[in-house]
């Protein structure tokens, strides 16, 4: 690799006596950039076509791995949002009146087109977001398509999904999504809303608008009736306009706890429905009878997948004391084989940090960990000169009170703590304002069930981590939010019920 500097932003240490495996040299295997065409600038997608923003404002979206501009994006203002909501409102009655199997047909079409155009989307997702192409290709795209397939199947079975209740659509849904899984979060939001007969106004995150804008092309290709899906781009101000618009019936938000709380305050007393999927600080708990090598893979996947930009990331590792040394040495050895670099290279395991702002946040929390007395380890690795990067990091000697054990870092940073008994593990794992997910590694089925019943988390994975399926509901407790996405549960927020 040319163009590199010696990386870690904080001093790296070698694993204590852990043998470093022979390093492999990989020839670069970059995916072709020209698989997808990026326009110089984009408008807003309202009523089935791109229109110029009334606000006349635009901003530049970049490739975070190179700090290079990709396109000029519209910053929708109040009048733009009003136009999108009006269009969605006008389109809604006809969409709701369609035969449910017809609605399903459109969703099936979208799913199939996403599959057909998966390579295009994967390249775009990695360029605009910084995530490794291996992940956008093998995780984001298949799961996004699967979501549309899954909810297409429910569209004509709503009365079976909720027996003895007569479901009807809520109306117009305002949907605001984050930058960590841009297309997948769009699918999580749009598929159930449309299956239930609603129309939508969706805003992608300001740093990652491009896959949502390419999705507009899929919507046109599927010949979805104009106005059923409207995409408005812009930053938090655009999001706030959607939230406060009086003619939106339901808000679905995924993002930070801070903004989630502000939205909840803004909606208080308005009668609008709300679901929030917010932050997390998940415990990944490894017992001494666990299959240790598998557990180490799960730990690595839990925290370094998507650079740790994952709300359900296993960012707190709890290791039973008797296997602590073994786990740490295996973990450090495994970390030394992670390949950090070009998101478009098919060998890359850890890509770029999504934005300068996020990099600064990670750097400052890591600094606080060092200052509070935790011991840091980063495998020796070279980071590219340009772009936003952070080496995979693990902290040992962490006290529960440290910020790195309490606050969501949303980066490739793991904090390791220990426990002796299952009760102690539960107590420590639940000692967080969040409650989105958890992992348990043990050979004992009874222990899995016991832990799952005691952990205050919306999802508990057993002997695996970060596993998703459209049929499985996902959502949090406490400051991780409320409402569920996925599964039959994911339809409910988009439906109102009359007595049968
Ligand atoms: P993150 O930590 O993922 O950047 P944010 O909560 O800041 O989380 O962003 C998630 C989404 O919420 C983005 O689409 C962002 O533009 C939007 N957003 C930010 N501030 C507001 C707000 N005050 N009201 C509505 N949406 C907002």
Atom of ligand 1 nearest to the CA of 203: 14
The pLDDT-based confidence of 5 (bands split at 50, 70, 90) is very low
The pLDDT assigned to 23 comes to 60
Atom number of ligand 1 nearest to Cα 263? 24
Confidence category of residue 26, pLDDT binned at 50, 70, 90: confident
58 CA → ligand 1 middle, Å: 18
Residue 433 near ligand 1, beta carbon < 6 Å: no
* Distance from Cα 260 to the centre of ligand 1, integer Å: 8
Quote the pLDDT of residue 6: 44
Contact 248 CB / ligand 1 (< 6 Å):
no
Q: What is the pLDDT of residue 499?
A: 67
Among 178, 181, 244, 311, the mutation site with the greatest number of ligand 1 atoms within 8 A of its Cβ is 178
Using CA atoms of 265, 267, 271, 277 in order, give the dihedral in degrees to the nearest 10: -90
pLDDT for position 428: 98
Compute the distance from residue 357 Cα to the ligand 1 centre, in Å.
13
**What Rg value do the Cα atoms of the chain yield, rounded?**
23
State if residue 239 touches ligand 1 by the CB under 6 angstroms criterion: yes
pLDDT at 19 over 80: no
Whether residue 109 has pLDDT greater than 50: yes
pLDDT at 8 > cutoff 80: no
**Ligand 1 pocket test: which of 78, 212, 236 has the largest number of ligand atoms within 8 Å of its C-beta?**
236
- Looking at the CA of residue 179, tell me the nearest atom of ligand 1: 3
- Please report the pLDDT score of residue 498 as a whole number: 82
292 C-alpha to ligand 1 centroid (Å): 38
Confidence grade of residue 17 (pLDDT, cut at 50, 70, 90): low
The pLDDT assigned to 228 comes to: 98
Ligand 1 near 259 CB (within 6 A): yes
User: In three state form, how does the secondary structure of the chain look?
Assistant: CCCEEECCCCCCCCCCCCCCCCCCCCCCCECCHHHCCCCCECCEEECCEEECCCCCCEEEEEECCCCEEEEEEECCCHHHHHHHHHHHHHHHHHHHHCCHHHHHHHHHHHHHHHHHCHHHHHHHHHHHHCCCHHHHHHHHHHHHHHHHHHHHHHCCCHHHHCCCEEEEECCEEEEECCCCCHHHHHHHHHHHHHHCCCEEEEECCCCCCHHHHHHHHHHHHCCCCCCCEEECCCCHHHHHHHHHCCCCCEEEEECCHHHHHHHHHHHCCCCCEEEEECCCCCEEEECCCCCHHHHHHHHHHHHHHHHHCCCCCCCEEEEEHHHHHHHHHHHHHHHCCCCECCCCECCCCECCCCCHHHHHHHHHHHHHHHHHCCEEECCCCEEECCCCCCCCEEEECCCCCCHHHHCCCCCCEEEEEEECCHHHHHHHHCCCCCCCEEEEECCCHHHHHHHHHHCCCCEEEECCCCCCCCCCCECCCHHHEECCECCHHHHHHHEEEEEC
Residue 449 alpha carbon to ligand 1 centre in Å:
36
| Domains of the chain and CATH, by start | 33-277+479-499 (3.40.605.10), 283-467 (3.40.309.10)
**Residue 21: which pLDDT band, with cuts at 50, 70 and 90?**
low
CB 212 within 8 A of CB 104: no
Ligand 1: does its nearest atom lie under 6 Å from the Cβ of 206? yes
Active site residue 311: yes
Cα 243 to ligand 1 centroid, rounded to whole Å: 11
pLDDT reported for residue 1: 36
Atom 13 in ligand 1: residue holding the nearest Cα: 205
Reported as a pLDDT band with limits 50, 70 and 90, residue 2 is very low
- Provide the pLDDT for residue 324: 98
Report which ligand 1 atom has the smallest distance to the Cα of 180: 3
Are 53 and 44 in contact by the 8 Å Cβ rule? The answer is yes
Q: Which of 311, 312, 381, 485 is catalytic?
A: 311
pLDDT band, very low/low/confident/very high, at 392 (cuts 50, 70, 90): very high
Q: What is the reported pLDDT for 124?
A: 98
Please choose from 255, 264, 279, 306 the residue to mutate so as to test ligand 1's pocket, defined by most ligand atoms within 8 A of CB.
255
The finding on whether 235 has its CB within 6 A of some atom of ligand 1 is: yes
Of the listed ranges 136-140, 157-161, 290-294, the least confidently predicted one is 157-161
Q: What is the mean pLDDT of residues 464-472?
A: 97
Percent of the chain clearing pLDDT 70 (strictly above)? 95
Give the dihedral sign, CA 465/184/261/477: negative
Taking CA atoms only, the protein residue closest to ligand 1 atom 26 is 239
**Interval between CA 413 and ligand 1 midpoint (Å):** 22
Asked if pLDDT for residue 15 goes beyond 80, the answer is: no
pLDDT digits (tens, 9 = 90+) for 257-289: 999 999 999 999 999 999 999 999 999 999 999
- State if residue 176 touches ligand 1 by the CB under 6 angstroms criterion: yes
Residue 14 has pLDDT above 70, yes or no: no
The least confident of 5-14, 288-297, 303-312 is 5-14
Q: Is 39 a catalytic residue?
A: no
Position in ligand 1 atom list of the atom nearest CA 235 = 16
C-alpha 236 – ligand 1 centre gap (Å): 5
The sign of the CA dihedral 474, 177, 255, 60 is: positive
Give residue 20's pLDDT. Answer: 53
Per-residue pLDDT tens for 74-102? 999 999 999 999 999 999 999 999 999 99
pLDDT tens readout for residues 402-425:
999 999 999 999 999 999 999 999
**The pLDDT of residue 477 is above 90:** yes
Establish whether residue 182 lines the binding site of ligand 1, counting it when its CB lies within 6 angstroms of any ligand atom.
no
**Ligand 1 pocket: which of 76, 128, 176 to mutate (most atoms within 8 A of CB):** 176
Q: 149 pLDDT band (50/70/90 cuts)?
A: very high
**Residue 11: pLDDT band by 50, 70, 90 thresholds?**
very low
pTM of the shown model: 0.95
CA of 13 to the centre of ligand 1 (A): 36
Q: Is 255 in the pocket of ligand 1 (CB under 6 A)?
A: yes
Closest ligand 1 atom to Cα of 204: 14
pLDDT confidence band for 360 (50 / 70 / 90) = very high
Q: Percentage of residues in the chain with pLDDT exceeding 90?
A: 93
């Amino acid at each position: 690799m040319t163009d590199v500097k010696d990386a870690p932003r904080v001093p790296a240490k070698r694993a204590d006596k852990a043998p470093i495996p022979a390093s492999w040299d990989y020839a670069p295997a970059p995916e072709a950039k020209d698989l997808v065409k990026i326009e110089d600038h984009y408008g807003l997608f309202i009523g089935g076509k791109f229109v110029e923003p009334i606000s006349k404002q635009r901003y530049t979206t970049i490739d975070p791995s190179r700090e290079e501009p990709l396109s000029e994006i519209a910053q929708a203002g109040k009048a733009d949002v009003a136009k999108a909501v009006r269009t969605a409102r006008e389109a809604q009655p006809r969409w709701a009146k369609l035969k449910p199997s017809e609605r399903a047909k459109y969703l099936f079409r979208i799913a199939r087109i996403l599959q057909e155009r998966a390579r295009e989307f994967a390249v775009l997702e990695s360029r605009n977001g910084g995530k490794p192409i291996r992940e956008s290709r093998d995780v984001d795209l298949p799961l996004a398509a699967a979501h549309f397939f899954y909810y297409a199947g429910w569209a004509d079975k709503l009365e079976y999904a909720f027996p003895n209740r007569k479901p009807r659509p809520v109306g117009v849904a305002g949907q605001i999504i984050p930058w960590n899984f841009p297309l997948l979060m769009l699918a999580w939001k749009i598929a159930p809303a449309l299956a239930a007969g609603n129309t939508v106004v969706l805003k992608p995150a300001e740093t990652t608008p491009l896959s949502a804008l390419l999705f507009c092309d899929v919507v046109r290709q599927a010949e979805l009736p104009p106005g059923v899906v409207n995409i408005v781009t812009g930053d938090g101000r655009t999001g706030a306009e959607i939230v406060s618009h009086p003619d939106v019936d339901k808000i679905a938000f995924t993002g930070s706890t801070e903004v989630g709380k502000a939205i909840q305050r803004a909606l208080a007393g308005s009668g609008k429905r709300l679901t929030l999927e917010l932050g997390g600080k998940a415990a990944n708990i490894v017992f001494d009878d666990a299959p240790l090598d598998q557990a180490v893979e799960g730990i690595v996947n839990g925290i370094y997948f998507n650079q740790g930009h994952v709300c359900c990331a296993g960012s707190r590792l709890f290791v039973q004391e008797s296997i602590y040394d073994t786990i740490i040495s295996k973990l450090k050895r495994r970390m030394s084989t992670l390949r950090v670099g070009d998101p478009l290279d098919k060998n890359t395991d850890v890509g770029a940090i999504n934005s300068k702002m996020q990099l600064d946040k990670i750097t400052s929390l890591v600094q606080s960990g060092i200052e509070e007395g935790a011991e840091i380890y980063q495998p020796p690795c070279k980071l590219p000169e340009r772009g936003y990067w952070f080496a995979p990091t693990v902290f040992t000697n962490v006290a529960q009170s440290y910020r790195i054990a309490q606050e969501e870092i949303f980066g490739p940073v793991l904090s390791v703590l220990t426990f002796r008994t299952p009760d102690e593990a539960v107590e420590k794992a639940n000692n967080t304002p969040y409650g989105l997910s958890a992992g348990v590694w043990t050979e004992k089925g009874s222990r899995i069930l016991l832990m799952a019943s005691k952990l205050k988390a919306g999802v508990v994975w057993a002997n695996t981590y970060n596993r998703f399926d459209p049929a499985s509901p996902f959502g949090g407790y406490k400051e991780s939010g409320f409402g569920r996405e996925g599964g039959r549960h994911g339809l409910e927020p988009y439906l109102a019920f009359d007595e049968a």
